[in-house]
Chains A and B, each alone.
Chain A
Amino acid sequence: MLRSVRQPIIIVPPLVFPLFLLAINASGLDAATNIPGFPADSYLAFALAFPFMQGAIFATNTAGANLAQDIGTGFFNRLSLTPMRGSALLAGQLTGVLLVGTIQAVAFLAAGLAAGADIEAGALGVPVLFALSLSIAAAFGTIGLFVGLRTGSGEAVQGLFPLMFILLFLSSAALPRDLIAQEWFRTVATINPVSYLIEGLRSLIITGWDGEALALGFGIAAAIFLVGLAASTAALRERLVRT
């Protein structure tokens, strides 16, 4: 956690880049609100879920790159000689991810509200938005941990970023699924789990309380987290045996 706070390079790009894209998309695609059936009056409100999701993608890199660096510098080897439990190591790495995720969530929400977006779910929706956002960050963080442990290479972890970005863009991030005109894209967006994560976040901002969207959002985040954690635990065990 301390390492995350002490390195501005870990905190600044995940804050600035999503806000920059939000500012561009909110203005550049505002005309999309004129498409019949568009679910919001303002594209800013519709797109506000996008930076939360992007922030979670950065969490993948934060978690994995820190661990890969520890493996590369030999710190992990020294750590493995201590009586520290593996679960504590994974939890420690995820705490850093959650800290960065919290800073991001506060910044994105503050920027969105300052620019004129409203939260349809009201004040109670804010903690739920934060909870879902942090669940997604933790879920993606476990993927970063797995790749970091499995490969021990910072470059391999960085290589995940384009892949995650592709998942984000091939989702319902830019338009609701029912308004995507190209059938192949709608099919990809429908089978892409990122669509349901972003729709869960978005529902609190533009719809209000949508039980189905929230259940899918939390459920998919939990599923990714559990799979990622199991894979990371197995990779950690293997790494410790090799050490």
Chain B
Amino acid sequence: MSSGAGTPVRGGVAQGARRRSRYLAVARTVAWRNLHSVVRTPALLLPPLAFPLFFYMAFAGGLSAVGDLPGFGYYDYNAFQFVFVLLQSAAFGGVFIGFSIGADFDAGFTRRLFLAARDRSAVITGYGIAALIRAVFVWAVVFAVALATGMEVAGDGIQLSGLIGLALILNAAAFLFAAGMMTRLRTLQAAPAMQIPVFMILMTAPVYVPRDLLGGWIETVAQVNPATAILEAGRSLMAGASFHVVLAFVAAAGLVAALALFSRGGLRRAEAAG
């Protein structure tokens, strides 16, 4: 009797384990394929790496006199700009993977992947894992360059972990947005529809100076922009303080939750389109 009652349960557990295993196999394959193509194609590897480095050099180098303005109040302009560049590369790391999704749709490869995968969200998860690994590689290089060129870090290990955590959540949010757009539009030609909103949200946060020194329309926009909370919390963690950190994590997690629904809706549309 006990075996008769236990068999369906054991069978269900085994089926669940097989399903998880298949899901992970699809996600791992998609992630590996994407990372493999990036490593083999310098044209795909270099822009996501070069842009943050270049922005760091241009902003921290060219505008460092702005750090001496009365009321600026941050300990190091290099660190001030580094946090922006880190979060920007996190967001664009998510967007750049959208190019891969779009290109795979154009080539018909994503449709074949969808046919092969039982749970198609595993395909999207695979792209997400690749986005994360690519972003972490970029951050390691940018961090090394920033430290080598004299950036001072005032935060401790826990605070830096918090900063990296924020960047990871932002990367996931941007990826989910890019995946949602690309599964809806299903062509690389729609790339500006992913890039422009992310660029606008990032650039209307306090990029060059703290919020107190902003003037005009951007001061109003920055106050309601969720990227402002994330950026200010990141800068405070870098400086060894904890300003608005909970608010920033809530804002970032809220973005991820909303964009996960957006991405899921896009996947449903792509599945319906065949």
Contact = CB atoms under 8 A, between A and B. Distances in A.
Interface of A: 13, 20-21, 23-32, 34-35, 159, 162, 166, 169-170, 174-175, 179-182, 184-185, 189
A80 B36 CA distance: 42
Contacts of A25: 208
Interface string B211-243: 001111111000000000000000000000000
Nearest to B199: A20
B185 interface: no
Given A162-B47, A179-B65, A27 B214 contact: yes
Contacts of A159: 43
A168 to B, nearest CB: 9
27 contacts: A24-B203, A24-B207, A25-B208, A27-B215, A27-B216, A27-B217, A27-B219, A28-B218, A29-B66, A29-B208, A31-B215, A32-B65, A32-B69, A34-B70, A35-B66, A162-B50, A166-B54, A169-B55, A170-B57, A175-B65, A180-B61, A180-B64, A181-B64, A181-B65, A181-B68, A182-B60, A184-B61
Contact of A35 (B47, B50, B54, B69): B69
B5 to A, nearest CB: 64
B272 interface: no
Given A23-B217, A185-B62, A35 B51 contact: no
Interface string B63-77: 111101110000000
B218 A31 contact: no
Contacts of A175: 62-63, 65-66
B58 interface: yes
Given A35-B69, A162-B50, A166-B54, A27 B63 contact: no
Contacts of A189: 62
The majority secondary structure among interface residues of chain B is helix
A166 B51 CA distance: 9
Contact of B63 (A20, A170, A174): A174
A21 B196 CA distance: 12
Nearest to B200: A20
B204 interface: yes
Nearest to A34: B69
B7 to A, nearest CB: 59
A170 to B, nearest CB: 6
A27 B61 contact: no
Contacts of B204: 24
Nearest to A21: B203
A184 B168 CA distance: 32
Contacts of B215: 27, 30-31
A179 B62 CA distance: 9
A28 B209 contact: yes
Contacts of B128: none
A10 B256 CA distance: 34
Q: DSSP majority for the A interface?
A: helix
A13 B204 CA distance: 19
A24 B50 CA distance: 23
B98 interface: no
B52 interface: no
B102 interface: no
B206 interface: yes
A35 B65 contact: yes
B213 A31 contact: yes
Nearest to A168: B58
A169 B58 contact: yes
Contacts of A170: 57-58, 62
A169 B62 contact: yes
Contact of B68 (A27, A35, A180, A182): A35
A28 B69 contact: no
Contact of A32 (B51, B61, B66, B206): B66
Nearest to A37: B65
Contacts of A30: 214-216
B29 to A, nearest CB: 28
A230 B209 CA distance: 44
Contacts of A185: 57, 61-62, 64
Contacts of B55: 169
Given A28-B206, A28-B218, A35-B68, A174 B62 contact: yes
Nearest to B209: A31
Q: Which of B47, B62, B70, B192 is most buried by chain A, counting CB atoms within 10 A of its CB?
A: B62
A169 B54 contact: yes
A30 B209 CA distance: 10
A13 B191 CA distance: 13
